[in-house]
Amino acid sequence: MTIASGLQGVILAAGKGTRMRPFSERWPKPLLPVLGKPLLVYQLEMLAKIGVQDVVVVIGHLGHEVVRTIGDGSQYGVRIRYVEQEETLGIAHAVSRLEPHVDKPFFLFLGDIYFGTADLAAMAEPLRTGRAHGALACKREPDLAAIRRNFILLVGESGYVTRVVEKPRHPRTDLKGCGIYLFDLSFFDAVRRTPRTAMRNEYEITDAIQIFLDDGYKVVASEVVVDDVNVSYPADLLDLNLKILSQQALPNWIAPRVNVHPGSLLDRTIVMDGAEIGENVALTECLVFPGTKVPAGRVRRRTIFTPDAEIRCSEGE
């Protein structure tokens, strides 16, 4: 039995992903493919690897597609239950819907982020020993812009988190929160008392965490994240695929059931199941979605092909 085997997992997969159009009209963000595998599956496999078997997935926009694609979770080594968030009013609002379905300490994942972690199970140790009531996954972030898009953790001399600051304009630390959380059941008391924000009219998870801290609960900062990619725009999806391709030291990634014309050239390109690449096609750093036909003669760089669209992704987008 692992440290984390007595925990539940929760993945939030209800967002609309409006900045990911045109993808979000057909695919929920957590189903967007990374080397042929839905982003959500990477998170399920991470949970299964550390011994978490009971997972609740919160669905909303195109939730039926999530259920159809992921199923009951058995093929990933977990048992999945689905909870619908009818209104998307922020992360804390989604967590508030979970209380009837969660009966033990739980990992909480944001389902639209790719995570690379080191010893994720270590997050559970402070809760198992009674040293803390929560843990926040984080990393040292050298990119100031990335810090300003997320939240920071301020840690006191005691070693516990004293404050979390959402989207700080003037960060006092480089310790960035990364979208994986671990709480015991007492966290729901703070969630119930979380007000809507004036700026976004939503229930922010950082506000709930601060209430939790102010109530005297102990939360630790767990520097277990080595990589995190928030898939917010089409170019993010392309760059994430190219990054994993590079990490695996592959020239291309081509699914088994793909028809590539022998006169075509692929370079650092990902081609998914059922796709067809026509004659005299030259693709460099491209992503081809399942079932897509790339017409003959196309010469493209940094482009995403879907059955319905061709999306150019310029450098730095």
- Condensed to tens digits (0 to 9), the pLDDT of residues 243-268 reads 999 999 999 999 999 999 998 999 99
The answer to whether position 3 is within a domain reads no
Q: Which domain holds residue 262?
A: 234-312
* Distance between CA atoms of residues 306 and 284, nearest Å: 16
**Do 136 and 158 fall into the same domain?**
yes
Give the chain's domain count. Answer: 2
The pLDDT assigned to 173 comes to 94
Residues 213 and 157 in one domain: yes
Residue 135 in contact with residue 126, Cβ under 8 Å? yes
- Angle formed by the axes of helices 63-70 and 39-49, to 10°? 50
The answer to whether 78 touches 155, Cβ cutoff 8 Å, is no
Q: Kindly report, residue by residue over 12-29, the tens digit of the pLDDT.
A: 988 765 566 666 567 788
Q: Is residue 1 part of a domain?
A: no
What are the backbone dihedrals phi and psi of residue 129, each rounded to the nearest 5 degrees, phi first? Answer: -90, -5
Helix, strand, coil fractions of the chain, as percent rounded to 5: 25, 30, 45
**Strand 287-288 to strand 303-305: parallel, antiparallel, or no bridges (unpaired)?**
parallel
**Residue 293 carries which side chain, given as an amino acid letter?**
K
pLDDT tens figures, 136-160: 999 999 999 999 989 999 999 888 9
Residues 191 and 247 in one domain: no
pLDDT average, residue stretch 224-235:
90
Exposure string of 184-206, with b = 16+ CB inside 10 Å and e = fewer, is beebbebbeebeeeeeeebbbbb
What is the mean pLDDT of the segment spanning 266-271?
97
Per this entry, what is the length of the chain? 317
Give the per-residue pLDDT at 25.
Answer: 66
Predicted model pTM = 0.91
Q: C-alpha angle with apex 271: 265 to 274, nearest 5 degrees?
A: 115
How far apart CA 314 and CA 243 sit, in angstroms, is 16
Written as six digits, the tokens of 174 are 């480089």
* Residue (of 47, 48, 41) closest to 66 by Cα position: 41
pLDDT confidence band for 317 (50 / 70 / 90): very low
16, part of any domain:
yes
Query: Is residue 292 domain-shared with residue 155, that is, in the same domain?
Result: no
What's the Rg (C-alpha) of the chain?
Answer: 20
